[in-house]
Chains A and B, each alone.
Chain A
Amino acid sequence: MRKKISNNELMQKLFHLPTFLVLTAITLFPIIYSIYISFFGYTLSKPGSEKQFVGFQNFINIFSDAGFWNSMLVTVKFVFGVTVVQVVFGLVIALILNSIVKGKKILTSLVMVPMMVAPLIVGLMYSFILNPQFGLYTFFIDYFNLPLTISPLSSATSALIVMMITDIWEWTPFMVLMILAALQSVPVSPYEAAMIDGATEFQTLRYITLPLIKPVILVATILRAMEAFKEFDKPYILTGGGPGAATEVIDMFTYREAFINFNFSYAAALSLVLFILLLAGGILYGRLIMEQEK
Chain B
Amino acid sequence: MNINKKRVFKNILAYTFIILFLAITLTPYFWLIVTSFKTRMDAFTIPPKLIFTPTFDNYRTAFLDKGFLSNFKNSLIVAIFSTFFSMVVGLPSAYAFSRFPMKGDHFLYFYLLATRFTPVIVLALPLYMIMSKFHLLNTFTGIIIAHTAFNLAFVVWMMKGFFDAVPAEIDDASRVDGCSRLGTFLRMAIPLTINGLAATTIFCAINSWNEFLMALILTGHFTATLPVAIPGLLTPQGTFWGQIAAVGSVITIPVLVLSIVVQKYMIKGMTFGAVKG
Q: Which A residues lie at the B interface, using CB under 8 A?
A: 8-9, 11-12, 14-16, 18-20, 22-23, 25-27, 29-31, 33-34, 37, 93, 96-97, 99-100, 107-114, 116-121, 124-126, 128-129, 131, 133-134, 136, 139, 143, 169, 172, 174, 177-178, 181-182, 185, 216, 219-220, 223, 226, 229-230, 232-233, 236-237, 251, 254-255, 258-259, 264, 267-268, 271-272, 274-275, 278-279, 281-282, 285-286, 288-289, 292
Docked-complex contact A117 and B271, CB < 8 angstroms: no
Contacts of A258 in B (CB 8 A): 124-125, 128
Contacts of B123 in A (CB 8 A): 26-27, 30-31, 271
Docked-complex contact A100 and B11, CB < 8 angstroms: yes
In the A-B complex, list the 7 residue pairs whose CB atoms are closest, starting with the nearest.
A26-B149, A30-B126, A15-B96, A282-B117, A19-B93, A118-B210, A12-B100
Min CB gap B29→A, angstroms: 6
Number of residues from B at the complex interface, CB < 8 A = 95
Contacts of A97 in B (CB 8 A): 18
A sample of 6 cross-chain residue pairs with beta-carbon separation below 8 angstroms, ordered by A number, consists of A19-B92, A34-B122, A107-B18, A118-B251, A232-B212, A274-B119
Question: A19-B93, A230-B121, A289-B272 are known contacts; what are 15 more A-B pairs with Cβ within 8 Å?
Answer: A8-B181, A11-B182, A22-B148, A22-B149, A26-B145, A29-B130, A33-B126, A33-B130, A97-B18, A111-B25, A116-B206, A119-B210, A271-B121, A272-B122, A278-B118
Which secondary structure dominates chain B's binding surface? helix
Docked-complex contact A271 and B25, CB < 8 angstroms: no
Contacts of B114 in A (CB 8 A): 279, 282
Contacts of A136 in B (CB 8 A): 27-28, 31, 48
Provide the bound-state CA to CA distance between A279 and B117, in Å.
Answer: 7
Q: Which B residues lie at the A interface, using CB under 8 A?
A: 10-11, 14-15, 17-18, 21-22, 25-29, 31-32, 35, 43-48, 88-90, 92-93, 95-96, 100, 102, 108-130, 145-146, 148-149, 152-153, 156, 181-182, 185, 206, 209-210, 212-213, 217, 227, 230-231, 234, 241, 244-245, 248, 251-252, 255-256, 259-260, 263, 266-267, 270-277
Residue of B nearest to A131 (CB): B241
Given contacts A19-B90, A181-B275, contact A125 B149 (CB under 8 A): no
Docked-complex contact A219 and B227, CB < 8 angstroms: no
Docked-complex contact B241 and A128, CB < 8 angstroms: yes
Contacts of B146 in A (CB 8 A): 26
Residue of B nearest to A109 (CB): B260
Provide the bound-state CA to CA distance between A164 and B32, in Å.
Answer: 20
Residue of A nearest to B15 (CB): A100
Residue of B nearest to A268 (CB): B125
Min CB gap B40→A, angstroms: 11
Residue of B nearest to A286 (CB): B113
Min CB gap A172→B, angstroms: 8
Docked-complex contact B274 and A219, CB < 8 angstroms: yes
Determine which of A37, A230, A264 lies in contact with B120 in the assembled complex, contact meaning CB atoms within 8 Å: A230
Min CB gap B8→A, angstroms: 12
